[in-house]
Amino acid sequence: EIVLTQSPGTLSLSPGERATLSCRASQSVSRSYLAWYQQRPGQAPRLLMYGASSRATGIPDRFRGSGSGTDFTLTISRLEPEDFAMYYCQHFGSSPPMYTFGQGTKLEMK
Amino acid sequence: EVQLVESGGGLVQPGSSLRLSCAASGFTFDDYPMHWVRQVPGKGLEWVSSISRRTDSVGYADSVKGRFTISRDNAKNSLYLQLNNVTAEDTALYYCAKGLGNYWYGSDFDYWGLGTLVTVSS
């Protein structure tokens, strides 16, 4: 079973700054099955990226996903106030077939 | 506009059963796989179960396998999760989510409902 470890646990930045969030898999995974979600307080999660680097519908281009193998990154180029939230990476593994989430990174306003 | 509305949650005793429902609208329901994901308040996300478009394929997390059953009624645009023999560890907010692709496996969750809270306590 693949384990996803996100870092840092908490990231404190200011609006306008660049955020870099990491998701590391316990073994090499297909980038086709790596996704990122944003969850604002009191809201349901929202799909940001799928296939590691494809933006979901309506996601602004300041969000960028990258990576391969065991290391994946979500970059937010210029933080807006609405970007301060929890972020989760997710992977689908086929043996056994199951979805796994990372523990999350909290992006908080400094 | 895609809408997913969960219902059926509540306070139940350990060992009991309940059925969660998810009413879908704004998209062609039987064209997409569907998922259930849960979240203990203040904690992370945990995938629970998924079902294919035509109900011919399903998947479950090990933590619920043998106790939970996912189903769907395409004629009613509805998704269900039957929870049996619940324990305190099943206490969570249960989200219904639409699959992005054609199959439940490898199909990310592109729309989510607001969730229904299940609390298991004596």
Average the pLDDT over B48-66 and give the result. 95
pLDDT at B107: 86
* 3-class DSSP state of B77: coil
pLDDT at B81: 98
Residue of A nearest to B60 (CA): A98
Chain-chain contact of B45 with A97 (C-beta, under 8 angstroms): no
pLDDT bracket for residue B101 (50, 70, 90): confident
Average the pLDDT over B1-7 and give the result. 98
* 3-class DSSP state of B106: coil
Q: What is the pLDDT of residues A21-75, one digit of tens each?
A: 999 999 999 999 999 999 999 999 999 999 999 999 999 999 999 999 999 999 9
Of A39, A47, A104, the CB nearest to B108: A47
For B78, the token pair is: 């509805």
- DSSP letters, A57-95, are TT--TTEEEEEEEEEEEEEESS--GGG-SEEEEEEEEET
Q: What is the pLDDT of residues B13-56, one digit of tens each?
A: 999 999 999 999 999 999 999 999 999 999 999 999 999 999 89
